A and B are shown apart, each in its own frame.
Chain A
Amino acid sequence: IVMTQSPATLSVSPGETATLSCRASQRVNTDLAWYQQKPGQVPKVLIYAASMRATGIPARFSGSGSGTGFTLTISGVQSEDVAVYYCQHYNSWPLTFGPGTKVEIK
């Protein structure tokens, strides 16, 4: 299953909403996670099961979608959200990540 993400880079002003898209080449139901990788850090899980926030993740992060199309929304982007965001399906092996969306602050 090939994962694609768009856009490759997203530049947003603080307080704006960022919408990141992820598409799977085959249906993965809701077996979809989003990871955040800040500069110089290891990734961490934000969202699993397409829409469930991981423990400790702020409510401004939300996920939606099922099947082949998914969205990560960051409502009220903050400077600390500068990162690369990866989606990953876990419907079957091999598990695959998308290429990532880099979020920048204007």
Chain B
Amino acid sequence: EVQLVESGGGLVKPGGSLRLSCAASGFTFRNAWMGWVRQAPGKGLEWVGRVPSEAAGGTTDYAAPVKGRFTISRDDSKSTLFLQMSGLSTEDTAVYYCTSGSVLVDFWGQGTLVTVSS
């Protein structure tokens, strides 16, 4: 059974930083494109970014609102995905979902809530 379990969410002040983690199991993590999708409270879905598998190669993609502030990385030896967020603003308040898939989301984590507020 595929499982994606996010952690690291919480309350952070504007301008602050936060690092999310996603522990994956039930599939060959190193062969999978991984990503992050977020959903602001009561709002729609927004891709944050995606990272290719090592085999696929290529670069990590970011959505315009987060480019330069967020960094996606992965540790294939630990089947873990990371999202380092800095320069956070209230507009970044959302549930952050860890996802698998390059263009479609095959699997979703349950999400972790990030609240940016003073």
Residues of chain A having any CB pair with chain B under 8 Å:
31, 33, 35, 37, 42-45, 48, 84, 86, 88, 90, 93-100
Contact A31 B108 (CB under 8 A): no
Contact A48 B47 (CB under 8 A): no
Which of B44, B50, B97, B104 is close to A100, meaning CB atoms less than 8 Å apart? B44
Residues of A within 8 A of B108 (CB): 42-44
Contact A96 B105 (CB under 8 A): no
Which of A31, A35, A84, A96 is close to B47, meaning CB atoms less than 8 Å apart? A96
**Given A42-B97, A42-B110, A42-B111: A90 and B46 interface contact (C-beta under 8 Å):** no
A to B contact number (C-beta, < 8 Å): 42
Min CB gap B37→A, angstroms: 8
In the complex, the chain B residue whose C-beta lies closest to that of A54 is B104
Which of B64, B97, B103, B106 is close to A31, meaning CB atoms less than 8 Å apart? B103
Min CB gap B24→A, angstroms: 15
In the complex, the chain B residue whose C-beta lies closest to that of A49 is B104
In the complex, the chain A residue whose C-beta lies closest to that of B111 is A42
**Given A42-B97, A42-B111: A90 and B44 interface contact (C-beta under 8 Å):** no
**Given A42-B111, A86-B45, A99-B44: A94 and B63 interface contact (C-beta under 8 Å):** yes
